[in-house]
Amino acid sequence: MHDEAFESKRFARQTRFAPLGTDGQARLERARVLLVGCGALGGVLAQTLTRSGVGTLVVVDRDLVEVTNLPRQILFEDRHAREGTLKVEAAREALERIGGPTRIETHATHLDANNLDELARGADLVLDGTDNLSTRYLVNDWCVKHGVPWVYAGVVGGGGLIMAVRPGTGPCLRCIFSEPPPTGTLPTCDTAGVILPAVGAIASLQAGIGLRLLAKPDGLEPALLELDAWNGDVRAVRAPREDDCPCCGRREFPWLDAPAEKQAVALCGRNTVQVRGRGPRPDLDRVAENLRDVAREVRRAGPILRVDLGEERMTVFSDGRTLIEGTEDIDRALALYDRYIGA
């Protein structure tokens, strides 16, 4: 039952914050936000935006909940990891329990140049909750091309970085980092670890900047913010826009204009290969029936199919994308995909 008196009080404390006010709150409630990734950073972002009353939150994540996620990914519980629940499904469950006006839209897919236009359509803001550089450069290309603000963030160890990108009024990601570094040269959560206070601090600052961009962006000075939650250090590096930036200066968008990604890619630190679906979407019920006599275990879990092959395990999504755990050998992963799923 809808209780208008109850709902009228929901944002009372928030709107008393003068820089936001009732006008800013009204803009939040009309806004549409694309959140890329709902794991560590993304979980804090999703919860903050939902509790703040953002109108529509579109959450995109390709992954499943694992037990190693639980110390730092606040939307998930033990049972999600034990059951291998899709992160977007677990996130929707947690966010809908909050209540409020926010409409939650979820997509269990890998964000790429082929689907970004559709997923980002109508977005007023894009938030970076991802964990890989190629997706960040893709988002930067799209946002600069379409004039949509976004907030970059990354966390590893005890700290991380945040930067707001306002196309046309400040630097973009490539003004600061013109090219991604070679694979394997930067520390990751798998090599250097990560702690929840760092995730919470980075994501909370990122969310605050995001809310300001939606409500009252004027006066926000561009800067690359560096925060260390372990040592208590905060540093702001003022970042000018580069006139000759290949993205916002010369309007070159190689990540957006590139052909479809490689058919298969090894996921960093996961002993897992992701194989992209080919051809029409698979009939998961038929695939399950075909594999019951050859696999150790076949289990349908809502929109995904789990297949235990012994040394390897396959998770088949409804769009044909498949995670093959237990190997980093792309050729072997493709062979397993062709053998058990087909072209």
- The SS3 call for residue 206 is helix
Long-range contacts of 108-112 (CB under 8 A, 24+ apart): 108/61, 108/62, 108/303, 108/304, 108/317, 108/318, 109/60, 109/62, 109/317, 109/319, 109/321, 110/62, 110/274, 110/276, 110/321, 111/36, 111/60, 111/62, 111/135, 111/138, 111/139, 112/138, 112/260, 112/261
> What are the backbone angles phi and psi of residue 8, rounded to the nearest 5°?
-65, -20
Catalytically active residues are 189
Q: Could you give the strand order of the β-sheet that contains 264-267, starting from the edge strand earlier in sequence?
A: 264-267, 272-275, 322-325, 313-317, 304-308, 297-301
CA–CA gap between residue 62 and residue 47 (Å, rounded): 19
What tokens appear for 63 in the block? 């992954």
- How far is it, in rounded angstroms, from Cα 22 to Cα 40? 30
3-state secondary structure (DSSP) of residue 251: coil
DSSP 188: -
Tell me the C-alpha to C-alpha distance, in Å, between residue 54 and each of 12, 209, 288: 15, 14, 40
| Strand 125-128 with 150-156, pairing | parallel
The residue written with tokens 């590893």 in the block is 156
Question: What is the Cα–Cα distance from 314 to 329, expressed in whole angstroms?
Answer: 14
The answer to whether 242 and 249 have CB atoms below 8 angstroms apart is: yes
74-83 in b/e form (b: 16+ CB < 10 A) is bbbeeebbeb
- 3-state class of 231 per DSSP? coil
